[in-house]
Amino acid sequence: MVRPEKLAALKERMESLGIREQDLEESFVRGAGRGGQKVNKTNNCVYLKHVPTGIAVKCHVDRSRELNRFLARRELCDAVERQQTGQCASKARVIQRMRKQKDRRRRRSSAHSRPPAEDIRHVSNSRERAAACIPAPWAISW
């Protein structure tokens, strides 16, 4: 079951994006995948279409029809927002957080890395690296 606070937040987001309930076509179809007899017998997969934009969403995440309705509306809001602004705000936040985390890790690892030893020869090519390990024939003392 979806909490009332989440439903209120979703309605507010739909209003801010200009999505009205009258503009939505909602139908329930049979889902597919895991779940056995329950999935095969019930119409709990939600097909939601926003008529003005033509965006359609199909959601069958849970066995509950009410939860699938909520999730379908949330996905529809993401899709409409992506179409209007070019990118979904929630996904942009996640991407930005991941970038910051990667930058932080990169800075930490470079701060802890040791400078290369002076006597080790750094060669990018693997053949040259192998050749650098083998002494020249005139350098071998018998």
Q: Strands 55-59 and 45-50, how do they pair?
A: antiparallel
Domain hosting residue 48, numbered range: 4-88
Is 61 within 8 Å of 47 (Cβ atoms)?
Answer: no
Residue spans of the chain under pLDDT 70: 87-89, 111-142
In a domain, 134, yes or no: no
CATH no. for residue 61? 3.30.160.20
Whole-number Å distance between alpha carbons of 35 and 119: 63
pLDDT of residue 37: 81
State the pLDDT at residue 86.
74
Let me know if residue 98 belongs to a domain. Answer: no
Please state whether the predicted TM-score (pTM) of the whole model is above 0.85.
no
Residue 41 resides in a domain:
yes
As a whole number of angstroms, the longest Cα–Cα distance in the chain is 94
Structural domain includes residue 93: no
Q: CA-to-CA distance for 50 and 122, rounded, in angstroms?
A: 60
Is residue 9 in some structural domain? yes
Domain count within the chain: 1
For residue 17, being part of any structural domain is answered with yes
pLDDT at 47 (0 to 100): 95
Question: How would you label 67-81 residue by residue, b for 16+ Cβ within 10 Å and e otherwise?
Answer: bbbbbbbbbbbbbbb
Angstrom distance (rounded) from CA 135 to CA 142:
13
Residue 24 lies in a domain: yes
